[in-house]
């Protein structure tokens, strides 16, 4: 299982690395186009008074990965407790779904199962599309995603990212849009920005699912390493105990033979 997790970890890291240039370039385009778009109206840009929030918890479908799921769930619980308004929970994969659905204090409105690094961008876009829909329909006023950041195969860190409303960081920075001053944008910058925002959100959700999957494989590698070491140590201790018991039995038998021989000699 350790070898399988290591192979899947390398594959997940490869997919994260392969998707990073696209995400970075898309963010750059959003920033530069946003500087020319001015004040536009878009449902995903609308900032409302937070009356209800959605919290997405990304877990795993399988166990045997150490404290990966328990750490993520504790982090999500702590974050939900900090919010001072009602929270609706969206769970991703079976472990998070089983935990939150069994506890009536959490309002689980939707669950997604089977999303991993092996899922296509189209399959994962179902999740991001649902988050966009409930925000645009004003069912929630904020959307947060609790996921596990992949630091290394040894370190995975639960984190929370604010997802909606979408923030146009740097959109009003003149330097960001200076490189477009010599270009004519077709269609208009505002129209282009309206089309790019949903794509960027889909890309970010896809990236977080891949990063959570990489963290899961890293945690499973460490769990299997610890299990192997513990089993090896247990085998060593049991072998030592068995040898001691065996030696004690042999010694007892020798003493009995010697005692019997002495008794016959005396007789």
Angle, in degrees to the nearest 10, between helices 2-37 and 189-266 = 160
Through-space distance between the first and last CA atoms of the chain, rounded to whole angstroms: 66
Angstrom CA distances, 99 to 91, 95, 154, 245, stand at 9, 6, 25, 46
- Axis crossing angle, helix 189-266 with helix 121-136, rounded to the nearest 10: 120
**C-alpha dist (Å) from residue 208 to 124, 218, 237:** 10, 15, 43
Task: Catalogue the active-site residues.
Answer: 65
d(CA 148, CA 208): 8
Q: How far, in Å, CA of 196 to CA of 48, rounded?
A: 22
Virtual CA dihedral for 238, 243, 245, 250, nearest 10 degrees?
Answer: 170
């Amino acid at each position: 299982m350790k070898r399988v997790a290591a192979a899947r970890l390398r594959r997940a890291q490869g997919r994260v690395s392969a998707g990073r240039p696209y995400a970075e370039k898309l963010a750059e385009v959003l920033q530069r186009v946003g500087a020319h778009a001015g004040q536009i109206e878009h449902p995903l840009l609308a900032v409302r008074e937070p009356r209800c929030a959605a919290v997405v918890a990304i877990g795993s479908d399988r166990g045997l990965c150490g404290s990966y799921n328990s750490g993520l769930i504790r982090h999500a619980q702590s974050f939900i407790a900090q919010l001072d308004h009602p929270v609706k929970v969206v769970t991703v994969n079976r472990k998070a779904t089983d935990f939150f659905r069994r506890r009536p204090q959490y309002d689980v409105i939707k669950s997604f199962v089977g999303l991993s690094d092996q899922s296509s961008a189209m399959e994962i876009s179902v999740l991001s599309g649902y988050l966009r829909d409930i925000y645009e329909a004003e069912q929630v006023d904020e959307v947060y995603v609790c996921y596990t950041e992949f630091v290394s195969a040894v370190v995975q860190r639960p984190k929370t990212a604010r997802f909606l409303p979408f923030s146009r960081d740097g959109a009003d920075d003149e330097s960001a849009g200076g490189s477009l001053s010599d270009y004519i944008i077709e269609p208009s910058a505002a129209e282009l920005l309206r089309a790019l925002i949903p794509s960027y959100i889909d890309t970010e959700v896809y990236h977080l699912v891949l990063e959570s999957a990489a963290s899961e494989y890293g945690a499973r590698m460490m769990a299997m390493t610890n299990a192997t070491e513990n089993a090896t140590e247990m085998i060593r201790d049991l072998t030592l105990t068995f040898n001691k018991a065996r030696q004690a039995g042999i010694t007892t038998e020798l003493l009995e033979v010697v005692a019997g021989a002495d008794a016959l000699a005396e007789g």
